Amino acid sequence: MRITMVGLGYVGLVTAASLAEIGHHVTCVDQDENKVRQLKEGILPFYEPGLRELITNLTSKSSLTFTTSLERSCLGAEVIYIAVGTPPNDDGTVDLSSLETVALQLAGYIKADVIVVIKSTVPVGTNDYVKRLIDEHLPTPVSVDIVSNPEFLREGTALHDTFFGDRIVIGANNPDAAKVIEEINKPFNVPIVKTTLQNAEMIKYASNAFLATKISFINEIANICEKVGADIADVAKAMGMDKRIGPQFLQAGIGYGGSCFPKDTRALMQISGNVAHEFALLKAVIDVNNKQQTLLVEKAKQRFGKLDERRIAVLGLAFKPNTDDIREAASLVVIEQLLTEGATVTVYDPVAMNNAKLVLNDQVLYAESVEAALKEADMALIVTEWEIIKQADLPKWRNLMNEPIIFDGRNCFDPSKMAEHNIEYHSIGRPV
Ligand code: UGA
């Protein structure tokens, strides 16, 4: 199929490359000239394992091309995917302006029957609204079908999630359009769920909200574990062995971050508020997460009283490992707290340093390695469970630090190992 992908963020770029990999011809379009120029040269706008190699290979075979011209990209396209950002407004509602702009531009350029697939996460009713918007502005009487095809990939494992996903959701009012999108996706060999537009939109929000609920739930259990002398690692492991619960997303820590869970949970609160439904459970999930992100510094304050004049190493800035994304990362909350307390903060992350510099500027010191961050630190706070941190040379860590005290927000280590190395170790939901 000849496919156009509008919007080259995480979802757009990964989906475009994956569709090209299974045999389609994909033209990628983005209004950001710099991004498009760099992509043509094989430079990616973000870090995602395996993606650069895949894109370089596909570009050399011309099955994946890049342009800034939406008009040209529409010529001959049988299916147009839209994967533009739908960021949150200050009040938690979803900002649909990019989607509206693209829809209106597309209406002007579409010259033949086409299917428009919306990948962006959008509130229930948006796919219908976009269809109306396009239909109302079409200068030529052609048929435009809308399909909702929400994305479930995770940053850091995006390609794996695409090729080994649990399901592909295809929402459509026209069964013929759904069939075309089903055929496009067949080579992925992933179970396909065909449903209505509204259901597809709701499945996306409900899935993310449920995963966020699992995290806040296990974090609350962890907080109780600490107080009653239980160990969250054993508790979560045995809970997860119950197939009805499942082992995933039971990793206690200092809360979820990223560009999806915080935004989508807030949006679902808005969506339920709009229909006068008080989603008390989801509100609690969000409140628990906000509090959880402050836990590490609270523990440090309890231990030391004051943190001013302390030299503190923050290890890990990305909202999770294998990404350079720091959007809504717990690290930002932690660092803001530490700076307010008057601490001197040195940070290190294996790939998110450049993004962090754009946000944190000169408020913190930037180290070139884990070891450099730990040198003469009065304590270390682990915020992201990068492999390079988990593989610590503990005797070396202890020697580098002024005081060997670690507050671990991601439970990277076995507390008994820390005791063996005479490191004072505070983690989440486990006996001190
Ligand atoms: C999430 C969903 O997992 C994807 O299915 C979805 O497609 C995506 O949002 C989206 O809506 O686009 P992502 O934000 O990339 O993916 O990251 P996750 O791996 O889900 O992690 C989110 C956050 O939860 C991270 O901060 C992570 O540290 C935290 N987390 C995750 C925990 O604290 N504990 C866990 O057990 C799992």
What ipTM was estimated for this complex? Answer: 0.97
Please tell me the predicted confidence (pLDDT) of residue 92: 84
304 and 175 in a common domain = no
Same domain? For 182 and 251 the reply is no
Contact 94, 123 (CB under 8 A): yes
**pLDDT, average across residues 376-385:** 98
The residue contributing the CA closest to ligand 1 atom 7 is 152
CATH of the domain at 243: 1.10.1040.10
Ligand 1 binding residues, C-beta < 6 A: 121, 151-155, 208, 211, 215, 249-251, 253, 256-258, 260-261, 264, 319-320
Residue with CA at minimum distance from ligand 1 atom 6: 152
- Distance of alpha carbon 302 from alpha carbon 182, whole angstroms: 55
Q: Which domain holds residue 236?
A: 204-291
Q: Is residue 431 part of a domain?
A: no
Amino acid identity, residue 240?
A: G
Domain holding 355: CATH number?
A: 3.40.50.720
Judgement on whether residues 150 and 209 belong to the same structural domain of the protein = no
- What is the domain count for the chain? 3
**CB-side neighbour CA atoms (13 Å) of 166:** 6
Long-range contacts formed by 295-302: CB under 8 A, 24+ apart: 295/223, 295/254, 295/255, 295/409, 295/428, 296/254, 296/334, 296/381, 296/383, 296/407, 296/409, 297/334, 297/337, 297/338, 297/341, 297/381, 299/407, 299/426, 300/379, 300/381, 300/407, 300/426, 301/341
The fraction of the chain above a pLDDT of 90, given in percent, is: 97
Question: Which two tokens mark 135?
Answer: 């239909």
Do residues 49 and 148 both lie within one domain? yes
Judge whether residue 432 has pLDDT over 80.
no
Q: What atom of ligand 1 comes closest to residue 319's alpha carbon? A: 26
CB 156 within 8 A of CB 49: yes
In a domain? residue 397? yes
Side-chain half-sphere CA neighbours of 269 within 13 A: 18
Query: In the structure, what pLDDT confidence band is assigned to residue 431 with cuts at 50, 70 and 90?
Result: confident
176-217: per-residue pLDDT in tens?
999 999 999 999 999 999 999 999 999 999 999 999 999 999
**pLDDT tens per residue across span 299-330:** 999 999 999 999 999 999 999 999 999 999 99
In this structure, the answer to whether residues 31 and 69 fall within a common structural domain is yes
Query: Do residues 305 and 421 both lie within one domain?
Result: yes
Residue of minimum CA distance from atom 16 in ligand 1:
154
Task: Assign 140 a pLDDT band (cuts: 50, 70, 90).
Answer: confident
- What mean pLDDT do residues 247-258 have? 98
233 lies in some domain: yes
CA distances from 253 to 97, 101, 367, 386 (A): 35, 39, 24, 14
432 within some domain: no
Q: Which of 195, 214, 243 is the last residue of a domain?
A: 195
pLDDT tens, position by position, 64-84: 999 999 999 999 999 999 999
Q: Is 74 a catalytic residue?
A: no
Same domain, 271 and 310: no
Distances (CA, A) of 414 to 383, 417, 432: 16, 5, 11
Whether residue 65 lies inside any domain: the answer is: yes
Indicate whether 48 and 68 sit together in one domain: yes
pLDDT band of 241, cuts 50, 70, 90 = very high
Same domain, 343 and 283: no
CA of 113 to the centre of ligand 1 (A): 37
Of the listed 74, 225, 260, 412, which one is catalytic?
260
Provide the Cα torsion 329, 332, 335, 336; round to 10°: -140
Residue 225 maps to a domain: yes
Asked which of 176, 195, 214 is the last residue of a domain, the reply is 195
284-289: average pLDDT: 98
Co-location of 140 and 13 in the same domain: yes
Q: Tell me, yes or no, whether 188 and 266 share the same domain.
A: no
- Whether 332 has a pLDDT exceeding 80, the answer reads yes
Residue 263 shares a structural domain with residue 389: no
pLDDT by residue (tens digit) across 24-76?
Answer: 999 999 999 999 999 999 999 999 999 999 999 999 999 999 999 999 999 99
Q: Provide, for the chain, the percentages of residues in helix, strand and coil under a 3-state DSSP scheme, each rounded to the nearest 5.
A: 45, 15, 40
**Mean model confidence pLDDT for the chain:** 96
* pTM listed for this prediction: 0.96
